[in-house]
Every structure is written in C-alpha cells, then in structure tokens.
Amino acid sequence: MNPVNDLITPLLRLGDSALIQGQRLCEWCGRAPVLEEELALMNVGLDLVGQARNWLDYAAELLADGRDADHLAFRRDERAYRNLLLVEQPNGDFAVTLLKQFFYDAWHLETLKGLSQSADERMAGIAAKALKEVTYHLRRSSEWVERLGDGTEESHQRMLQAIPRLWRFTGELVEQHATEIELHRAGLRADPAQVAEAWRASVESLFARATLPVPEAPSHFYLDARRGLHTEHLGPLLAEMQFLPRAYPDAVW
Amino acid sequence: MYAQLVDTGVKRITPLAEMSEQERTFQEKIDSEIKIEAKNWMPDAYRQTLIRQISQHAHSEIVGMLPEGNWVTRAPTLKRKLQLMAKIQDEAGHGLYLYSAMETLGADRDEEIAKLHSGRAKYSSIFNYPTLNWADMGAVGWLVDGAAIVNQVVLQRTSYGPYARAMVRICKEESFHQRQGYEILLTMMREGNQAQRDMVQDAIDRLWWPALMMFGPSDEHSPNSAQSMAWKIKRQSNDELRQRFIDQTIPQLELLGCTCPDPELKWNAERGHYDFGQIQWQEFYEVLKGNGPCNQERLETRRKAIDDGAWVRAAAVAHAQKKANKNAA
C-alpha cells in the first residue's frame, strides 16, 4: 500500500460527494415548500460545501501537482469525479430530495464516525468537525422522511414513488470493496462492514416509523463512481457548476 | 428602500386638537420617542401602514433570494459559493424576522404572502432586474444591500418597537454582505483580467439607476411620506436618503476604478453633495406595476414554490396531529 495515493480516492469520494450534494441543494434556492426550509436547505448545503473544501484542500496537498481545491472542484471532468452516484441524482420533488438526503446522511454519519478515529490525524480532524454538522443533517432528514411517510395519503404515496427512484443507488453505500477493507485495516478509514450494518439498521428503524416498506437489497448496478463511471446526470451538473472557471481559465475571482 | 411605496390610507394629517383622547396619547408617545409595542393601542391606519410596510420588506427579502439564487450554482470558486450560500441563508432569516414582526400587529403570514402572489402586495422594484454576469453578485451586495442599509439604519429608530429591533439585527448582517459584495468587485478589478473588469462595469451600468430607485419616489411625489414621518415610521425623506447613498457610494466607485452611468453626476462644492441626473420615473412606476424585466418570472417562481409545496405542508400538519393524538392516548 502507498498511504498517500491510497488516501486520494477516499478523500475525493468524501469531498466530491459533499460538493455535489451541496450543489443539488443550491438548486432549491427560492423554491422550497416553506420559508423555514429555504433556511434549512441552504444551511445543510453550506455545511457540505464547507466540508468539501476541507477534503479537497487535503487531497490537493497530497496530490502536490500544483492544483488546489478550486482546481479539483471546477476543472475535473465527470470521469475524474468520485462522488457517490446517489448524490448526483436530480432533486425531483421534496420527497426525493429528503429521502436522498437521508440515505446520504445515514451513510455519511457512520463513515465520519469511523474516520474521526483515523490514524491519519488530518483526516480525523476534518471528520470530527464534519460529524457535528452531519449529526444535525441526519436528524433533520430523518424527521422529514417520517413526516412525509406517515403524513397524508399523498405524501405517503410520494415517498413510495421516491424509494425505487433512489434505492438502486444505495448499493454503493453498503458494498464491501477490497481496497476499502485494506484501508480500514491500515487504520485509515471506517470499517465498511460496520458502515453497511449501521446504514441498514438506520434505514430499517426509520422506515418502520415512517410506515414505509424496506425493499430487497439492490442488485449490482454495473456503474462504479470509484472509477468515474457515473450516471448521465453528473455531466450537465458540472457544465453548470464549472462554466465560469472553464470560460476564463486565467481569471481571479 | 425595501418598502418603497407604502400607502398610509390617510388623506391629511390630523392636528393634535382634532384627535380623540386615545389618538392624542398615542401621538404624544410618538413625539417623545417612546416605542410603540404590540399590545399598545394604536390607530388602525398606523397598524395597517406598518403591516403593509413590514410585509413588503419581508417579501423583498424572499423574492430577493432569486436573483442571487440564479448564480449560486455557478459561483466560480468554493469560497464565493460559500459566501453566496451564507448570504442567501441570511436573507431567508431576515424574511422570517420580518414576518414575525409583522405578525405582532395581528396580520397573518400566509394571508400576506397570498397578497404578494396575487399581485396585491409589492416587493422592492430592484429584484425585478435580471442578474446577467457574476459581477452582479458583487454589485447587488455593494449597491443593493448598500441602499438597503442606508434605509434600514434609519429604521432602527422607527417608532414600532418590534420593527426597530428586527432592523438592528438585520443591519449587522447586511453590512457584512455589503463589504463582501464590494470585495468581489475589488478582486475582479484589481486581480482580474479585462473580461472581468468589463463585467464589473457592465453590472454597475445596469444596476446603478435601479439601486437609486430603491429609495422610492422623489419627495414631491411621495404623498404618504408626511403621515409616515408624523408617525415616525419613516425618519428621513426618500430624497435625503438617496442623496446620502450617492454621496457615500461615489468614492467607493472611484476606488474601484469604475465609472458612473450618469453623465450629469458632479460634485457640488456649494451644496457639499453630488448633483446627479434625472431618474427615469416612468420605468420605476412601470416596474412597480408589474411591467419590469423579471416581474412575471419572480412571482411565478414564488407561486410555484408555495403551490408545489402544499402537499409537504399538509403532510407536516397531519403528522404533527398524529403524534399529538398518540401522546394524548
């Protein structure tokens, strides 16, 4: 194992996922169902983009090839992005947005808990800070999934429709990847088995409260964000997010 | 001003001698700078004027999220994106404070929002202009928040306590936004390339006059001002505030190295103020009437947000009811 190179992919996975999830939340600006949610959606997005910056700063330092966090965020193509497929999915309605947030938060919290114990001090520090924010994110998204699942007939139906739209992207949250198991053994990341177990437990207990059925484990999906194999949603998202730095490569903002 | 044209519903100001006992006590309290609080008696016209003004102000914060929301997904660096997100979040928070202040007067938030969506209530004319380049995010912060601050600093002394206190909190955050906006422009002018400097000048050219219109009609065409001044809801006239804004902003414009899109702008040593050209009042009234560049889109977006979100709000209410029933059982 090469500890520096091996850390880059997990760092990009964390940073890119937080950034793309934050970007999706920005799309809600001015369009939330109630004023309090304008605040909450932007607040969660702000936390995540802040975390993305911390992870990408660190990744850029380890890469040491002259790129900085902005360069990583705004100049990489979709084939170089390492975010979870889940977070690049379109917002859909409020049910899809909040269910996606919950699936991500539940994974994120466990992942950060593991990382906050990482043998890599810098990683542990960033994770510990993010953990406080994500604890709040998970509480909030869980509450909404429960409200919508166990609300009105319409909200229940919308949640039932949101589940199959997102469920197939949850496989990557629980799969046991060989390199990640290696990293865990080296004390550099959370135990994937533990993340998977905790994730399933939190989905099962919340879905029970929200009167929602837990589907069978999703089947293999033939895409792999670890290798930059994304859905078709990421390209247009990046085209919008990156256009200014791409159009004016020598600009200082 | 975030609330530019507020009808007081009063044709002439009643002299003290013609007032009832209650009205006189109220006016004397105003005259001796004692704040009016929610439970105090107040003339109905005072109450209604404040509801109109504070709701207009609150609506402006919410509609004002849209021109910036237009760029939040396209901000060019992580730092700028974070700043813009924080600013938009603050604005939603200001909307919340203001609706709460308005509700102390007995108004209902949902009813006032319904008035906005049906075109019966207004919001600041400035948010009907499109944001067309990234420098607009700087210019909105510097000019638009700058104009808002000149208005709001005075409103910290407005006669209605809950409104005055909301202004104190809001002003702190607005000043921060204004500095941030100016810093965006300064960075583009000093460290940027020619294309970026052109963006800055273009943003100023488009937003300068609309920012001046934020102070409302000139004093001679401001029929409701006298009553608002007598009630000390307003503390200074539209033209006074506009002049103050111009005087303090021109040196900042010069420091940027930009020009003002007003050929008549000139320092007047005798007055100790800048003279400036004619505002296009026709445009101002048309924009307020709904005929500005983005009026339709802004209202459509807001209406759609509330309409599309109806099932979410219904679900929250239904779920809370279920929980309450369970707890009672």
Is B231 strand, coil or helix? coil
Contacts of A37 in chain B (CB under 8 A): 309
Tell me which of A11-20, A74-83, A179-188 is least confident: A179-188
Please give the domain boundaries of chain B with CATH numbers for all domains: 16-328 (1.20.1260.10)
* Token pair belonging to A144: 């909404």
> What is the average per-residue pLDDT within A47-54?
98
Number of Cβ within a 10 Å radius of residue A232 = 8
Burial of B214 (0-12, 13-18, 19+ CB in 10 A): buried
Residue numbers of A between 78 and 97 with CB closer than 8 Å to B: 93-94
In terms of Cα–Cα distance, which of A159, A173, A169, A175 is closest to A213? A159
Backbone CA torsion sign across B34, B37, B39, B42:
positive
| pLDDT value, residue B31 | 95
pLDDT-derived band at A176 (thresholds 50, 70, 90) equals confident
Contacts of A46 in chain B (CB under 8 A): 82, 85-86, 89
Tell me which of B6-15, B189-198, B204-213, B243-252 is least confident: B6-15
In sequence order, which ranges of B192-237 are alpha helices (DSSP H)?
194-213, 225-230
* Token pair belonging to A133: 């924010």
Percent of residues, chain A, with pLDDT higher than 90? 90
What's chain B's average pLDDT?
A: 95
Place of tokens 């995010």: B137
Distance between CA atoms of residues B56 and B126, nearest Å: 13
Please give the C-alpha separations between residue B196 and each of A40, A138, A250, A252, B122, in angstroms, as whole numbers: 33, 40, 10, 9, 34
Mutation to test the A interface, candidates B100, B319, B322, B326, most A Cβ within 10 Å: B319
Decide: A166 and A99 in contact? Cβ < 8 Å.
yes
Decide: B70 and B133 in contact? Cβ < 8 Å.
no
**Per-residue pLDDT tens over the stretch B250-291:** 999 999 999 999 999 999 999 999 999 999 999 999 999 999
Distance between CA atoms of residues A63 and B237, nearest Å: 59
- Containing H/E element for A162? helix A153-167
pLDDT-derived band at A180 (thresholds 50, 70, 90) equals confident
**Per-residue pLDDT tens over the stretch A21-37:** 999 999 999 999 999 99
Distance between CA atoms of residues A154 and A151, nearest Å: 8
| pLDDT value, residue A4 | 64
| pLDDT value, residue A2 | 63
In sequence order, which ranges of chain B are alpha helices (DSSP H)?
21-31, 44-63, 65-72, 78-103, 109-117, 135-139, 145-155, 161-191, 194-213, 225-230, 238-256, 281-286, 295-308, 310-328
> Is A98 at the interface with chain B, CB within 8 A?
no
In terms of Cα–Cα distance, which of A93, A72, A94 is closest to A83? A72
Contacts of B78 in chain A (CB under 8 A): 49, 52-53, 56, 69-70, 73
φ, ψ of residue B274 in degrees (nearest 5) = -80, 135
Distance between CA atoms of residues A58 and A124, nearest Å: 12
* Close Cβ partners of B17 (under 8 Å, ≥ 6 residues apart): none
Angle, helices A192-209/A178-185, rounded to nearest 10 degrees:
110
Burial of A138 (0-12, 13-18, 19+ CB in 10 A): buried
Burial of B14-24, coded b for 16+ CB within 10 Å and e otherwise, reads beeeeeeeebe
